[in-house]
Structure 1
Amino acid sequence: MSRFKRDGKIDSRAGFKTQIQESPVPRGLLNAARKSGQLNLTGRGLTVVPESVWRLNVDTPEEAQQNLSFGGSDRWWEQTDLTKLLLSSNKLNSLSEDIRLFPALVVLDVHDNQLTTLPKSIGELENLQKLNLSHNKLKELPEEVWLLKNLRSLQLQQNLLEELSDGMGQLTNLDDIDLSNNEMTTLPERLGNLTNLVKLNVSYNKLKSLPLGISGLKRLKLLDCTQNQLESVPPVLANMASLEQLYLRHNKLCCLPELPSCQTLKELHLGNNQIEVLGAEHLNHLSALSILELRDNKVKNLPDEINLLQDLERLDLANNDISSLPCALGKMPKLKILSLEGNPLRAIRRDLLTKGTNELLKYLRSRIEEPPEDLSKDAPKTAMTLPSQAKINVHAIRTLKALNYSEKQEASIPDEVFDMVDGSAITSVNFSKNLLTALPPRIAELKDTLTDINLGFNKLTSIPADFCVLKWLVQIDLRNNLLTSLPLELEALTNLRTIILSFNRFKVFPDVLYRLYSLEAILMCSNQVGSIDAAQLKGLEKLSSLDLQNNDIMQVPPELGNCTSLRALMLDGNPSRNPRAAILAKGTDAVLEYLRSRIPT
């Protein structure tokens, strides 16, 4: 009797019903696909694609078999061939050979599954134009893939591919291919046959060289080779006459590539290599360049010919070995962003560097007429020079208002160093590269004039609360110490624009930084920070540079995209899955736009 009950009541019709097993793909969805030619099965937890899907355009609908009446809008015999099939974000290990039953397919998207193989019959989809196989576990592709002559977009990122055959050269209609985040050590020589290719992304692989045939890509506009093992770039790269964006960051390049024919190149990204020399011969033909990124290299000098780059808008030279700047930089009319942090610049005052690009260029222009005085050398020693004075640049104290006692490998700063100040209005202090475990107490004597302090490369484990007496500080450099926290009292430093905390031991983003509303740059790479509060960061309306590379951030909050004041956001080297490396490589604007798109509505 119980089988005829429904909610405690007797169902008189129960004995006449046929129990229907629920399908993972609703019949209504299949019927709609017959009309529209599109079927979206994204995120349904499928481990296999039901046979009813593969036979969508082959079998007669079940309603027709049951002789049910059809309205004018339900004429199944007038069905449309499937042209778009979306199977992404499921748990598929493989696809059936029955994929051949969709010969009219134009778009096939199976990204974010667990595919280890592809059916050979995929080569029969002769109308296919877009194939997305990204975020799977493919180690190789069947040769039949190269029969898809009408393919225009091929997405293969985030797989386990080690190589591709020369058959790839048959896809001559391809205009976009993404091979990033694989295990590839070489590229096929016939890659150059893809003469319609506009975008090629091979970032985050194990490439040691590029094939000479790549020069055949005459229409290529974007080439991304970020995070590989390239030691050189073939000169034939110069033959790619349409190239506009070239990414070579995080490789093993020792010199700048010579690109004499790349007169359309607008962006050249070469950060995190081993480049030492930047010569005039590298710049002669880059007249269209608007972005030149050379951060984290070993560049020692800039040539006067840098001003040949009249269209340059952004020049990133952070963390190099540059000690002086050519005055010719001041003649660059479009330069808006010049990044120089992390260089041992001696001939330019630190406070001038913190005032921004416009002020620095203005200063360099003012020095063009009269050569800048060489102030980097110590005052000459005389018979009256005391032994203690020989260690201290007295000339710098008197003229530059700078107190320099760096690279002495001492555990404390001697009193005689402060005695040498003798009432001078010191604005800059450099105690870096010593063995300091605590802040020198007498630093407080400089509280009325000090704007810049460098305590990097020491052994500081904490910053005392009374550090806040240095209320005029504009820049603080505390990189390469043993710090784990900052005192809340630093909130009193209302003039602070730049703070460098890279290579310390922070596990938590210091709360006091959220309260320093004058901050323009926070550099905290290579710590152990696990999270950031995007809502509080948005309150730092002047913040333009945020470096959080190589931390332990598992999840980048989408709300960070609302921090529209940011001009440089660096998140590489964190374990977070999003934004993906390919997006990070596109730069700050692309990252912020991506994050905003993920904010829940």
Structure 2
Amino acid sequence: MAESESGQVTAAARIDRCVREGATRLDLSGLSLKTLPDPLDGLIHLSELDLSGNELAALPESLGDLTGLTKLDLSANRLTELPGWVGNLTGLTTLDVSYNRLTALPRSLGSLTGLTGLDASYNRLTTLPESLGDLGDLTGLNLVQNRLTTLPESLGGLRDLTELLLWHNQLTTLPESLGDLGDLTYLHLSQNRLTTLPESFGGLGSLARLQLSQNELTALPESFGDLTDLTYLDLGSNELATLPERLGDLHGLTELNLYGNRLTTLPEWLTELTGLRRLDLRENRLTTLPELLGNLGDLTYLGLSRNRLVTVPASLGDLTNLVELDLDANRLTAVPGSLGGLTHLRTLRLGENRLTALPGSLGDLTGLHTLQLGGNELAALPEWLGDLRDLTSLDLSSSRLTAVPGWVRNLAELAYLHLNHNLLTTLPEWLTELTGLRSLDLRENRLTALPESIELHPLRRNLRLDGNPLD
């Protein structure tokens, strides 16, 4: 029996039982149904109907007679339109039409004034009906991954909305009425085409989490400073060259993402956001850092890779709660010895800089798990690196090494060792003593043969050897 036929049999049996028992819930999900039995008038007592994960391209009109429904799940089908009669289901509190092929929502949707949750994500919606603003009880609205270019001005009528998800659309502007959503706590607008935000944005005074990454923002409205409940702010991958001073009023922030912008300097007020735990400034154009950055003593993550830093302030050593410090791909010729005081550090990335030496104090970072040193100009690698015995990942790529340093033998916890793009001609026999080693990258060296102990070792399967003149 074909899967869809067996699904029809199962569905008929479940419907029959539901009718006989007067059940209020009916689950017909995942049965590969292409059609539904019609009419459905025997199911008038239903309050919850799950039709998700089928192959429905259309819905029977009798579904509109199930006016007792409070929850209807139509997700993951093949629906291209939602019929107007859906407006008859005025008892609905939750409607899920996600993962279909809808290009529009019917105007009659506005009749569902009891709706608290509407999920229309992963469709092909290009516009929304003005009647959407009539859904005054709505608390959650998910419109992720559609093709929306604008939002109706009536959106401001959704005064009870606490969560609005709009990422991965094609929005170029936002309505002024957005600022009327004073109860909104979570707003996700990443991956759109926004170049500006309305001044009314400051009206979103309850916002705790705001995601605006991967847009085309060049400036932020001054009213941003009114969002004093914000704890999480993601402005990554925009085109911001400056930040408004009033951002310094957001003292509740614990995470601030500014990666992938055009910042050349950091404002002093940033150093007053002392509640920050994560600060991501990767991929900007920073040449210097404020000395007062050391005031951010709660930071556990500081991302500064792919900037233009020539030096970093000694005050970074005051960030004693740091777990990860990323300084990869800058123009550093030295790092301050004060970094040796970061005893909670587990990940230190210093790769692709111009370092000629390392301060001996880094030998105190005995809790390090990941150390990235590749692509520098280190004349020699200090022996004390062998004291970092908790290391599980070590990158010494592009370091002009002619031999594997002997101290590597001490790193018994090592799982990942990157020695690619060096000048190695031989490998030591003792590499097989590193029993936890899962990956050894030896690409682009000058190896002509491997020691027999390695050829016969399980490690041999995890060697990357491209670009060597091996026999």
TM over 0.5: yes
- Return the alpha-carbon distance in structure 2 between the equivalents of residues 299 and 172 of structure 1: 41
- Return the alpha-carbon distance in structure 2 between the equivalents of residues 357 and 333 of structure 1: 5
Q: In structure 2, do the counterparts of structure 1 residues 425 and 48 end up closer, same or farther at CA, with 3 Å as the change threshold? A: closer
Q: In structure 2, do the counterparts of structure 1 residues 407 and 307 end up closer, same or farther at CA, with 3 Å as the change threshold? A: closer
| Map 1:522-541 → 2, pairs under 5 A | none
Q: In structure 2, do the counterparts of structure 1 residues 314 and 213 end up closer, same or farther at CA, with 3 Å as the change threshold? A: same
- Return the alpha-carbon distance in structure 2 between the equivalents of residues 425 and 148 of structure 1: 65
Q: In structure 2, do the counterparts of structure 1 residues 26 and 489 end up closer, same or farther at CA, with 3 Å as the change threshold? A: farther
Contact 1:426/1:450 (8 A) holds in 2: no
Given the two structures, how large is their TM-score scaled by the length of structure 1?
0.55
How far residue 249 of structure 1 moved from its aligned partner, in angstroms, is 1.1
1:38 alignment partner, one of 45, 48, 51: 48
- Return the alpha-carbon distance in structure 2 between the equivalents of residues 218 and 168 of structure 1: 17
2:188 alignment partner, one of 173, 194, 201: 201
The one-letter amino acid of 2:48's match is Q
How far residue 280 of structure 1 moved from its aligned partner, in angstroms, is 1.8
Q: How many residues align?
A: 384
Q: In structure 2, do the counterparts of structure 1 residues 343 and 36 end up closer, same or farther at CA, with 3 Å as the change threshold? A: same
The one-letter amino acid of 2:171's match is M
The structure with higher relative contact order (CA 8 Å, sep 6+) is 2
How far residue 135 of structure 1 moved from its aligned partner, in angstroms, is 0.4
**What per-residue deviation string (whole Å, max 9, x for no partner) do you get for residues 85-129 of structure 1?**
110000001111111221111001100000112111111111111
Q: Could you say which residue in structure 2 is the equivalent of 1:318?
A: 305
Q: Could you say which residue in structure 1 is the equivalent of 2:426?
A: 466
Contact 2:255/2:276 (8 A) holds in 1: yes
How far residue 213 of structure 1 moved from its aligned partner, in angstroms, is 0.7
Q: In structure 2, do the counterparts of structure 1 residues 313 and 360 end up closer, same or farther at CA, with 3 Å as the change threshold? A: closer
1:220 alignment partner, one of 172, 196, 207: 207
**What per-residue deviation string (whole Å, max 9, x for no partner) do you get for residues 186-216 of structure 1?**
1111110000100100001111111111000
- Return the alpha-carbon distance in structure 1 between the equivalents of residues 452 and 206 of structure 2: 54
1:88 alignment partner, one of 75, 82, 99: 75
1:115 alignment partner, one of 102, 113, 122: 102
Q: In structure 2, do the counterparts of structure 1 residues 270 and 407 end up closer, same or farther at CA, with 3 Å as the change threshold? A: closer
1:54 alignment partner, one of 64, 70, 76: 64
| Map 1:194-273 → 2, pairs under 5 A | 194-258=181-245, 259-273=247-261
Unaligned runs of 5+ in 2: 1-8, 25-43, 347-353, 362-374, 386-394, 410-416, 435-439, 455-459, 465-471
Q: Could you say which residue in structure 2 is the equivalent of 1:101?
A: 88
Contact 2:256/2:280 (8 A) holds in 1: yes
- Return the alpha-carbon distance in structure 2 between the equivalents of residues 300 and 96 of structure 1: 58
Q: Could you say which residue in structure 1 is the equivalent of 2:265?
A: 277
The one-letter amino acid of 2:63's match is V
- Return the alpha-carbon distance in structure 2 between the equivalents of residues 491 and 224 of structure 1: 54
| Map 1:370-385 → 2, pairs under 5 A | none
**What per-residue deviation string (whole Å, max 9, x for no partner) do you get for residues 497-524 of structure 1?**
xxxxxxxxxxxxx96269xxxxxxxxxx
Q: Does residue 444 in structure 1 map to residue 402 in structure 2?
A: yes
**What per-residue deviation string (whole Å, max 9, x for no partner) do you get for residues 42-71 of structure 1?**
1121111122322224xxxxxxxxxxxxxx
Q: In structure 2, do the counterparts of structure 1 residues 199 and 333 end up closer, same or farther at CA, with 3 Å as the change threshold? A: same
Q: Could you say which residue in structure 1 is the equivalent of 2:124?
A: 137
Coordinate RMSD, CA, aligned? 4.5
**What per-residue deviation string (whole Å, max 9, x for no partner) do you get for residues 284-321 of structure 1?**
3x122111111222222221111222322221222322
2:462 alignment partner, one of 505, 512, 530: 512
The one-letter amino acid of 1:54's match is G
Contact 2:113/2:136 (8 A) holds in 1: yes
How far residue 247 of structure 1 moved from its aligned partner, in angstroms, is 0.4
Q: Could you say which residue in structure 2 is the equivalent of 1:336?
A: 323
Contact 1:263/1:287 (8 A) holds in 2: yes
Contact 2:294/2:318 (8 A) holds in 1: yes
**What per-residue deviation string (whole Å, max 9, x for no partner) do you get for residues 357-397 of structure 1?**
52879xxxxxxxxxxxxxx99xxxxxxxxxxxxxxx8xx79
Contact 1:85/1:105 (8 A) holds in 2: yes
**What per-residue deviation string (whole Å, max 9, x for no partner) do you get for residues 548-591 of structure 1?**
xxxxxxxxxxxxxxxxxxxxxxxxxxxxxxxxxxxxxxxxxxxx
The one-letter amino acid of 1:297's match is N
Q: In structure 2, do the counterparts of structure 1 residues 175 and 103 end up closer, same or farther at CA, with 3 Å as the change threshold? A: same
- Return the alpha-carbon distance in structure 1 between the equivalents of residues 81 and 206 of structure 2: 35
Q: In structure 2, do the counterparts of structure 1 residues 449 and 149 end up closer, same or farther at CA, with 3 Å as the change threshold? A: closer
Contact 2:277/2:300 (8 A) holds in 1: yes
- Counterpart of 2:249 in 1: which secondary structure? coil
Q: In structure 2, do the counterparts of structure 1 residues 27 and 141 end up closer, same or farther at CA, with 3 Å as the change threshold? A: farther
The farther-off stretch of 188-197 and 35-44 is 35-44
- Counterpart of 2:187 in 1: which secondary structure? strand
- Return the alpha-carbon distance in structure 2 between the equivalents of residues 491 and 29 of structure 1: 70
How far residue 450 of structure 1 moved from its aligned partner, in angstroms, is 8.9
The farther-off stretch of 27-36 and 222-231 is 27-36
Contact 2:256/2:276 (8 A) holds in 1: yes
- Return the alpha-carbon distance in structure 2 between the equivalents of residues 490 and 241 of structure 1: 62
**What per-residue deviation string (whole Å, max 9, x for no partner) do you get for residues 415-438 of structure 1?**
xx9xxx8xx887799996xxxxxx
Q: Could you say which residue in structure 2 is the equivalent of 1:546?
A: none
How far residue 279 of structure 1 moved from its aligned partner, in angstroms, is 3.4
Q: In structure 2, do the counterparts of structure 1 residues 94 and 25 end up closer, same or farther at CA, with 3 Å as the change threshold? A: farther
How far residue 40 of structure 1 moved from its aligned partner, in angstroms, is 0.7
The one-letter amino acid of 2:248's match is P
Contact 1:243/1:262 (8 A) holds in 2: yes
- Counterpart of 1:260 in 2: which secondary structure? helix
- Return the alpha-carbon distance in structure 1 between the equivalents of residues 91 and 462 of structure 2: 60
- Return the alpha-carbon distance in structure 2 between the equivalents of residues 483 and 182 of structure 1: 43
- Return the alpha-carbon distance in structure 1 between the equivalents of residues 451 and 80 of structure 2: 55
Contact 1:490/1:512 (8 A) holds in 2: no
Q: In structure 2, do the counterparts of structure 1 residues 489 and 270 end up closer, same or farther at CA, with 3 Å as the change threshold? A: farther
- Counterpart of 1:444 in 2: which secondary structure? coil
| Map 1:472-551 → 2, pairs under 5 A | 512=462
- Return the alpha-carbon distance in structure 1 between the equivalents of residues 452 and 46 of structure 2: 61
Query: After the TM superposition, which segments of 4 or more aligned residues of structure 1 sit over 4 Å from their partners?
Result: 22-25, 27-31, 424-432, 445-451, 453-456, 462-465, 467-473, 481-484, 486-493
- Counterpart of 2:325 in 1: which secondary structure? strand
Q: In structure 2, do the counterparts of structure 1 residues 426 and 100 end up closer, same or farther at CA, with 3 Å as the change threshold? A: closer
Contact 1:448/1:470 (8 A) holds in 2: no
- Return the alpha-carbon distance in structure 2 between the equivalents of residues 491 and 156 of structure 1: 59
